Amino acid sequence: MNIDAYLTEHARKTPHRIALEEGNNSISYGNLEASVSDIAASIGEFRHCRFAILEEMGIQYIKMLMAVYRSDNIAIPMPIEMPRIILEKILDNSHIRNIITTEAQYSKLGENFFKRFGTIVIVSENKPIQFIRKELSIESNHPELKLVLYTSGTTGIPKGVMLSDKNLTTNAASIIEILGLNADDKAAMVISPHHAFGNSIINSHLMAGGCIAMGNMKFIGSVFSLIESGVTVFYGVPSTYRILLRYPDRFKKAFSNVRTAASAGGGMTKQILRNIKELVPGIEVLPMYGQTEATARLAYVPKEDVEEFIETIGKPIPGVTLDVFASKGQPVGPYITAELVAKGDNILLGYLDDEAATKKKIIDGWMYTGDLAQKLPNGYFKLMGRKDDLLKIGDHLVNPREIEKTIENNNKVSAVFVVPVEHELMGTAISLMVIPEPETDIDTLFKFCRKNLPAHLYPKEILFIDHPPLTESGKISNRLIVEEYKNVKNRM
């Protein structure tokens, strides 16, 4: 059974139960089912074609997503918070001919942006579905492809992760099991629905027949009100918790009726756990670990072990096998650091239009996570950093070399080095060290970053340096960059 079939099932059994809430609006399973069927019928002539979905989090977004599933087309949610320039790159590189969006988004991005599409569908509340253009395309896609999710951090062209019905339902079922979700649960979703974590909240709660209350992290007062509306499960990345914990009194009040505070997207720290537990001793804190390439989740720390094992990723979720492999695909023993690999029905079909990358990611049925880890004797796993030079910035995985190249290629600078620096709310932000040219101008650099990089990559500071922090063999390494940064700061 696929995800949208669960929706039909709940609409039949509990048509009046509320499925989604957004501000003062809500929609029942019965009405959601009817809207999804309407939208699906309007694109029913398309046969397994790629449909970009362009809309912010909300009831409309979920209607469109389910409708693309139901019409047996391929849903490609656009990471709408990214700068326009990145959205355009994604769209053009993934050869998407069809888009489904709202009137507001259509007028915001303008006709020029939509020129690249053969088909443009506009879905608005209380108005008939409208086609700006319609051009049936014939596409040949992976037969099981249902959803393409983009990873969140990169500045260049993010990779599209291809997922199937089986991926989605297996991972949602595992999440339902570890969180003990049922139809009486109300989830608070304040993170982006366009990436793996947010998408998994939609899938698992709709599959369980419960309610999802949607908001965003912009207005803290509204977030607390949303939690106080009867939420039983709250989802956040570590920075979400860091931000909410700045208001301890209200946190205590708002979370007093929440059963589970789940976290993913980055390691939950001892400090965050301690702060939550001090304010709300009875709450179950559930740290989870995963990747977009695993649909969402791979591992979790069971509640009875959270205090003791907060610095591990815990054990695999049901249906997943984890192991640690040395370079030749051989499993290693406990306490030996090597690459974490995963197997299960939630592992991606591959990367969209990128066979070479797929072959590197999945070898002999095992997915290579790129994370270094150790096995512990009790069967838990502990992360030991990245195999590559990727950094976690504001809970997004980013490639610093890519950011450096983007800035270098578009500005008058000799060289750029990305430094991870502490940030009170995001955990980690970036600063830039720049080897200037005579024309280099700091304001212009800041401006370029604003326009061309995702918000979490806006540099905290830009420092000029006079020689590159390279290894003896002339290579760039994060470790040397951080050392040089400390030296520069000490001299200031």
Partner 1 sequence: MENIKTSIVNYLKDNSFMDKNTELEDSDSLTQSGIIDSIGLLELLDYISEKYSIEIPEDMLIPENLDSLHGLTNMITSLTK
> Please, which residue, 81 or 353, has the CB nearer to partner 1?
81
Structure tokens at 194: 């366009």
> Please, which residue, 304 or 443, has the CB nearer to partner 1?
443
> Please, which residue, 72 or 81, has the CB nearer to partner 1?
81
Q: Rounded to the nearest whole angstrom, what is the least distance from the CB of residue 51 to partner 1 in the complex?
A: 24
Give dist(CA 23, CA 291) in Å, integer: 30
Q: Rounded to the nearest whole angstrom, what is the least distance from the CB of residue 455 to partner 1 in the complex?
A: 4
In what helix (H) or strand (E) does residue 235 lie, and over which residues does it extend?
strand 233-236
Give dist(CA 470, CA 26) in Å, integer: 56
Q: Rounded to the nearest whole angstrom, what is the least distance from the CB of residue 26 to partner 1 in the complex?
A: 18
> Please, which residue, 364 or 422, has the CB nearer to partner 1?
422
Q: Rounded to the nearest whole angstrom, what is the least distance from the CB of residue 401 to partner 1 in the complex?
A: 24
Cβ-Cβ contacts under 8 Å for 59 (sequence gap 6 or more): 20, 22, 25, 27, 32, 214
Q: Rounded to the nearest whole angstrom, what is the least distance from the CB of residue 442 to partner 1 in the complex?
A: 12
Give dist(CA 195, CA 294) in Å, integer: 12
Structure tokens at 277: 């537990």
> Please, which residue, 12 or 460, has the CB nearer to partner 1?
460
Give dist(CA 297, CA 129) in Å, integer: 35
In what helix (H) or strand (E) does residue 340 lie, and over which residues does it extend?
strand 338-344
Q: Rounded to the nearest whole angstrom, what is the least distance from the CB of residue 24 to partner 1 in the complex?
A: 12
Q: Rounded to the nearest whole angstrom, what is the least distance from the CB of residue 221 to partner 1 in the complex?
A: 4
Residue closest to 250 by CA, chosen among 220, 272, 213, 282: 220
> Please, which residue, 291 or 452, has the CB nearer to partner 1?
452
Encoded amino acid at 276, one letter: I
Give dist(CA 268, CA 261) in Å, integer: 11
In what helix (H) or strand (E) does residue 423 lie, and over which residues does it extend?
strand 413-423
> Please, which residue, 218 or 328, has the CB nearer to partner 1?
218
Structure tokens at 399: 């490639």
Q: Which residues bind partner 1 (CB under 8 A)?
A: 81, 216-222, 224-225, 239, 243, 246-247, 250, 394, 425-426, 447, 450, 455-456, 458
Q: Tell me how crowded residue 166 is: count the other CB atoms within 10 A of its CB.
A: 15
